[in-house]
Chain A
């Protein structure tokens, strides 16, 4: 039987070391296909799970060092650095800085977990940054520097190059072959599942990898997209905005006798936003969400129809505003969104859609108000659920959406 992943001598021991030390990455480690390339003078990976190793270089390393390099390179693929580099517009000139930034993102988590990279590892503190950030942030920091900072300046050139798996730029030594993208995607998910299983049963996995695994398996929907979709859907359903109706005859009907044509009609819906202004609210998120709602309504041509109510335990007066900046958010006591919804319901003309922006720590009415839709914008990572009759949109400040 042929094995496509045997590779140069020393690799089995290195992979065994890595799989023993990082059992949750074993599928990924064994999924790589290791190819010796004499004269390469580096270790590089491509997005199709192929690792290229200069056998001369590898002969000088202990299994632990070689195994650490494999773990490091697999993490480039897990974190999707090649695609992220393309999205960020990294070119060949910037590739060294990008790879340092990507290295820092990987290493800050794994070096404490026992990674032993030969020649030292790039860490965020090498360029004076805090750990636990994204490669994009480190990259922006590095690009801003005129000269390469301290410890990074001394490293030999080839050490910066982890291959196209890290920066998405094709290399000469990569021919056709490797894993199909859809199989690579399945392998990635397998590793993510392994990490979650490991953290539940056997022990701990680095926090950064755990967060990555959760994002891969339960991707976060961008709340802006969700909020936009909910508002569009609500406006469409209520108003049938720019929709056809057989209730009135079409203007064209006179031209064709004997044919019944529908008319285009556009009722304009009234809208209200109830802002939770109780003491527990985060102003930053509230402003973000309010600005988003306003922007969406402007795009739908409904901004002038917006009324905003500040509400803590009782609702304040309705304000007709033309910009989110003009809203006066009064209050600061207890919370009862039921009062806010009731106040919105009592407005004339009655709003057809009410958006409630709250942190969720509030009593809700038992049933939906009759003839009025409610979209509940739940602000913050740990907001409790909204009642079933409201359409929930979770608004978080998290950066998770950018990691794959």
Chain B
């Protein structure tokens, strides 16, 4: 578990680089984004080519058109040649949000397909970008939606504690985890999870941003969902924290869709109420109080929606089994169950288990 959020962002950055997913750091000027990325490349022992997007022309990314006879070649610039020769490395695109729209358009192929002019960079090259939020850069542009959709967006925020530690003891470079060989094989599992989620929420499969202000951040599309699945696979392979995974998923598909997906994943661990009612002995109470409440409340609600004597009795058996470990949670669900008693059924024995706590809370009518 991370001690502060600054760590989680750095951890997430390391995972995205390890998975070779293009990543963009958003943060105020002067917060050390550039030095963190350079330090990270140094720690990995990889060459780092810094290209400041805002002072470049589109032809620096799309290739310089050179007239050769009756055709035009698109000559790649020197930094691209160096990276291609090294076979691996970090391409760092700084000041992305102050790049004019035409430069952003030229960057589209560089970011995702690693193609510069007529040259294709090796797949081992990691693309990392940094940008200031448009409201903090006087000459800032919002990122265009197509470019935003090709990147995983991470927010670079420093806590005062992190800055104090850094000034005193030097800045720690973000760690890039070593992923075990063949880690990407597990990607199919996470793609399956995303697919299952999108069947429940089809509206989130593609949801272009509704206004210009949100266009510059992550938004759900088939490409970003695939990116999210890849990042989740890498997070698992690196055994990283849940906080980093949350930052990566939300960074890829945007805050709204990301949070819904994460909530759905957490809920997936809850038992299916119908299965529990069919076999009450199989029920295991989740450890965290709110999860326990969610599980028991869903079982009580399932009984209430179709209160047959058999289901009612099964519901009580589940609650009775939890009365000792979680009396308050079980009693809250028991009050729902008590209100939907089918006609002609006898009171179950389990109800006595809840009498003391209900009496203490002043909820037992005499």
Contact = CB atoms under 8 A, between A and B. Distances in A.
Co-assembled chains A and B: yes
Interface stretch (A135-143, A158-166, A230-238, A321-329): A230-238
Interface string A176-192: 10001111011101100
B290 A27 contact: yes
Contact of B101 (A16, A31, A243): A243
Nearest to B336: A23
A2 B57 CA distance: 62
B66 interface: yes
Interface stretch (A4-12, A121-129, A274-282, A360-368): A4-12
B212 interface: yes
A229 B66 CA distance: 37
Q: Which of A2, A12, A182 has the most CB of B within 10 A?
A: A182
B79 interface: no
Interface in B314-359: 325-329, 331-332, 335, 357-358
B141 interface: yes
Contacts of A3: 285, 287, 289, 292, 325-326
A20 B331 CA distance: 10
B287 A16 contact: no
A27 B118 CA distance: 57
A32 to B, nearest CB: 7
B66 A259 contact: yes
Interface size class of A (residues with CB under 8 A): 35 or more
A150 interface: no
B72 interface: yes
B363 interface: yes
Nearest to B75: A259
A261 interface: yes
A17 B241 CA distance: 36
Given A16-B363, A244-B57, A260-B65, A229 B326 contact: no
Interface string B240-267: 0111011100000000000100110010
Contacts of A258: 66-68
Given A11-B328, A27-B294, A299 B138 contact: yes
Chain A to chain B: the 6 pairs with minimum beta-carbon distance, closest first: A31-B290, A13-B360, A182-B246, A30-B289, A5-B289, A229-B213
21 contacts: A1-B284, A2-B287, A3-B285, A12-B357, A16-B332, A16-B357, A16-B360, A19-B328, A27-B294, A30-B328, A30-B332, A63-B362, A181-B8, A181-B243, A183-B242, A186-B266, A190-B294, A225-B213, A229-B215, A259-B66, A393-B211
Interface of A: 1-6, 10-17, 19-20, 26-28, 30-33, 63-64, 67, 176, 180-183, 185-187, 189-190, 221, 225-226, 228-230, 232-233, 236, 240, 242-245, 258-262, 299, 391, 393
